[in-house]
Amino acid sequence: MFQSIQVDQVFDATRAMSSESDPAYWLAQLRKADWRYLLKFVDVKLPAKTKKQILVETALGNFEFVTCDGCGDVWRLWNEMRNEHRILVIQFRHSESDWSRGIPEFVHLEKNDPLGFVNIAGRLQEYLRRSVPTN
């Protein structure tokens, strides 16, 4: 199910681009602003000039990831986990002429953000969850 991703998996092009079913494949496509958004989601603030690698390392310490096929899997997982964990969905919008790189979009299902039509090639959708400490 959910798995932790290491920094080298995101920055090593041979590992990150090896399989679309690996969350690292999709995480490698995130821009610096996207990593900042993930950190904002967990209320972590870093200076504006922080290098991308530090942002990635910090974000990866706060999230676990899973890839999933289709909207049905997204909703099923979200419904199963939403009472115990905060979940954030990243979907990748691809143009009809270029499926090689998508534009990441953050989807908030609790706010009824739309899902579905953006993954033209049946691309995977990424889920992120914040670990909830157990006392």
* pLDDT at residue 101 tops 80: no
**Rounded Cα distance, 33 and 56, in Å:** 11
Is residue 11 within 8 Å of 32, Cβ to Cβ?
Answer: no
pLDDT, averaged across the chain: 76
Q: For residue 117, is it within any domain?
A: yes
**Rounded Cα distance, 112 and 102, in Å:** 22
* pLDDT at residue 120 tops 50: no
Q: For residue 13, is it within any domain?
A: yes
**pLDDT at residue 16, as a whole number:** 61
Q: For residue 95, is it within any domain?
A: yes
Q: For residue 1, is it within any domain?
A: no
**pLDDT at residue 67, as a whole number:** 82
More confident residue, 95 or 83: 83
pTM: 0.77
Q: For residue 23, is it within any domain?
A: yes
Q: For residue 2, is it within any domain?
A: no
Which structural domain, as residue segments, surrounds residue 103? 7-130
Domains identified in the chain, total number: 1
